[in-house]
Amino acid sequence: MLSHSAIWDAIDAIAERHGFSASGLARIAGLDATAFNRSKRVSKDGRERWPSTESIAKVLEATGENFEQFLSAGGVYMQGATMRPSVPLLGLAQAGSGGFFDSAGYPSGQGWDEVPLPSTGQDGNYALEVSGDSMLPLYRDGDIIVVSPSAQPRRGDRVVVRTREGEVLVKILHRQTARTLELHSLNAAHPPRVIEVKDVEGMGRIIWASQ
């Protein structure tokens, strides 16, 4: 059941999984830094305080988690939830070398490893192992991200973009026009990138991350 302790345990577990304190998770979700403090979870007269659904939605958006993963992080398991045995896994550097994707952006060919992950409900998803620091503090070297080539990215989504020159970028989709993509990094040390659509081999939305 959705108990008070399970909801807060889920928030703590997601914060730890992404390398944040409870305050850090609140900040990256665009909330007041004290929103998830333990002192805020019970009022002075002993009444339980619950996080708002809006706060939870912002946490899921900021971390790339879905609600099923949020519940399981707190020890709540949905009846009928399934586990996907595995999705194809490739290193980020390998992904740009060619021959690993078909014309629609789905994984193909040899050389893929596998990684077990919770079910995402879609076929054709694949996983990449992150390298580099452009998306710190959210994604670090060695983190695994799951990409959906069929999910339509929207502004503000975290995406993987493959260029025709073999570059693979893990970025935030800031703006998309008929001619260009504007991509931003979380790490301020990396400037925005503007890429012409004609130079893009494929783009998928990041739907899950595991630290």
Tens digits of residue pLDDT in 158-175: 999 999 998 999 999 999
Residues forming a β-bridge with 175: 182
| Distance in angstroms (rounded) separating the CA atoms of residues 109 and 171 | 25
Angle at 184 between CA 12 and CA 54, to 5 degrees: 35
Q: Tokens 């980020």 — which residue?
A: 92
Gap between the terminal Cα atoms of the chain: 26
Q: How far is C-alpha 40 from the geometric centre of its chain's CA atoms?
A: 27
- Mean pLDDT over each residue of the chain, to the nearest integer: 80
Q: Tokens 């665009």 — which residue?
A: 30
- Of the candidate CATH numbers 3.40.50.12280, 1.10.3720.10, 3.40.50.300, 1.10.260.40, the domain formed by 4-73 belongs to 1.10.260.40
Per-residue confidence band for 211, with pLDDT thresholds at 50, 70 and 90:
low
Backbone angles phi, psi at 114, to 5 degrees: -135, 150
**Residue extents of the structural domains in the chain:** 4-73, 86-210
Rg (CA), the chain: 18
pLDDT at position 121 over 80: no
pLDDT at position 76 over 60: no
CATH fold for the domain made of 86-210: Umud Fragment, subunit A (2.10.109)
Angle at 148 between CA 12 and CA 175, to 5 degrees: 90
- 204 HSE (CA, 13 A, CB side): 23
How far lies 92's CA from each of 16, 43, 170, 195, in Å? 24, 46, 9, 19
pLDDT at position 125 over 90: no
| Distance in angstroms (rounded) separating the CA atoms of residues 79 and 68 | 11
Looking at per-residue confidence, does 172 or 207 come out higher?
A: 172
The model scores a pTM over 0.85: no
Tell me what the mean pLDDT of segment 44-62 comes to: 82
| Distance in angstroms (rounded) separating the CA atoms of residues 129 and 89 | 7
